Structure 1
Amino acid sequence: MFKKVIIAEDLDVMNLGIQQVLKDLNIVDFQHSKFCDEAFLKIRAAIHQNEPYDLLISDLSFKADHRKAEIVNGDELVQKARELQPNIKIIAYSVEDKSYRIKSLFDNAGIDGFVLKGLNSIEELKKAINIISSSDQKFISPEIASALHEKNNYEIDDFDILILKHLSSGTPQDDIIVILKDLGLKPSSKSAMEKRLSKLKDFFKANNTVHLVSIVKDMGII
């Protein structure tokens, strides 16, 4: 079982619930932070003191306040925590239910568990902690596990990310086509670009290109 845990959660009621779960599991050495920057500093300090945390439990969404934040959301926090301390176990604890965003956390940040906040979240969090503390298994809340394993008609790849990044910076579509051709990337024709964007809009349920860019920015994809 884990001996030392750091909680990143800005809502007091959720934080207290997580703390109670840890106490129920006889984990008494834990700290919490309401800000991602603060949580990251505590993780780094613990490493320097040769007393690293075993587990990070983090929300994904944090409300902004007057402080200037370097790490603005849980997605960035878990990614930076993984880079800083590769062996730390990470559980994302969130109301987020978008399959792409959750999948990216497993694929890119290597999280060990995802618990969906809801009616059964307390028991699921206990189960997640037990599972990942005693094995290399991953834990995903049953409500979203099926969605993650569904085969989509369209998969987002690095090519799509490149297009979305250029769109977000205001690059006209015709100029993006030229950039793709210069990079030797295919497909790079106007019709292929339009088809690609159409599939992306369908995938993210976006009304138009501006809406599409807004969605992927909110999801932390770009």
Structure 2
Amino acid sequence: MFKKVIIAEDIDAMNLGIQQVLKDLNIADYQHSKFCDDAFLKIRAAIHKNEPFDLLISDLSFKKDHREPNIKNGDELVQKVRELQPDIKIIVYSVEDKSFRIKSLFENAEIDGFVLKSLNSIEELKKAINLISSSDKKFISPEISSALQEKNNFEIEELDIKILKHLADGTSQDEIIEILKTLGTKPNSKSAMEKRLSRLKDFFKANNTLHLISIVKDMGII
């Protein structure tokens, strides 16, 4: 079982629920942070003291305060923590249910578990901690595991992310098309660009391009 745990969660009620789970599992050494930057600093400090954390439990969404954060969301936090401490176990505990985002966490940040915040999430979190502490298996909440196994009609591609990043930087669609042509990236026609953006807007339920950029930024996609 894990000996030392850090929780990254900004909602007090959720924090208390996670702490109770740890107490039920006889894990007495834990800390919590309401901000990603603070959680990262604690993890780094623990490594320097030669007393590293065994497990990170992190939400994905964090409310902003008056400070401008260096690490803006849980996606960035788990990625940076994985790079800093490759052997730490990571469980994401979130309301997020979009399969492409969850897949990205498993593939890119190599998280060990994803627990969906729901009516049964406390028990699922206990199961996740028990499973991950005693094996190399991954845990995924049953509500979303089937969705992850299905082949979606539309999946976010690397080209989509590049286009979204260019748009977020203020690059016009015509300029992006020229950039894609210069790089030899296809499709690079105006009609292909418009179709791709239309599908992205539908997928994210965005009213317009600005709304789309705002949504993907908040979700940590760009």
TM-score, normalised to structure 1, is 0.94
For residues 20-68 of structure 1, give each alpha carbon's deviation from its aligned partner in whole angstroms, at most 9, with x where no partner exists: 1111111111111111111111100111111111100011111112233
* Structure 1 equivalent of residue 6 of structure 2: 6
* Structure 2 equivalent of residue 17 of structure 1: 17
CA-based RMSD of the aligned residues comes to: 1.4
Task: Name whichever of 64-73 and 165-174 sits farther off.
Answer: 64-73
1:203 maps to a residue whose letter is F
- Contact 2:100-2:155 at 8 Å conserved across structures: no
Write the distance in 2 (CA, Å) between the matches of 1:25 and 1:217: 36
* Structure 1 equivalent of residue 31 of structure 2: 31
* Structure 1 equivalent of residue 170 of structure 2: 170
* Structure 1 equivalent of residue 142 of structure 2: 142
Task: Give unpaired runs (5+ residues) of structure 2.
Answer: none
Write the distance in 1 (CA, Å) between the matches of 2:191 and 2:62: 40
Q: Tell me how far 1:115 sits from its aligned partner.
A: 0.8
Write the distance in 2 (CA, Å) between the matches of 1:212 and 1:37: 26
Structure 1 runs of 4+ aligned residues shifted over 6 Å read none
> How many percent of aligned residue pairs carry the same amino acid?
82
Write the distance in 2 (CA, Å) between the matches of 1:212 and 1:70: 23
Q: Tell me how far 1:206 sits from its aligned partner.
A: 2.6
Matched, 1:63 2:44: no
* Structure 2 equivalent of residue 151 of structure 1: 151
For residues 59-90 of structure 1, give each alpha carbon's deviation from its aligned partner in whole angstroms, at most 9, with x where no partner exists: 11111122332112211111111010011000
Task: Give unpaired runs (5+ residues) of structure 1.
Answer: none
* Structure 2 equivalent of residue 205 of structure 1: 205
TM-score, normalised to structure 2, is 0.94
Q: Following superposition of structure 1 onto structure 2, how do residues 67-86 of structure 1 map, counting pairs within 5 Å?
A: 67-86=67-86
* Structure 2 equivalent of residue 104 of structure 1: 104
SS of corresponding position for 1:91: strand
SS of corresponding position for 2:69: coil
Write the distance in 2 (CA, Å) between the matches of 1:11 and 1:218: 18
1:109 maps to a residue whose letter is A
Write the distance in 2 (CA, Å) between the matches of 1:16 and 1:139: 22
| Residue correspondences, number | 222
Q: Tell me how far 1:108 sits from its aligned partner.
A: 1.5
SS of corresponding position for 2:206: coil
Q: Following superposition of structure 1 onto structure 2, how do residues 83-98 of structure 1 map, counting pairs within 5 Å?
A: 83-98=83-98
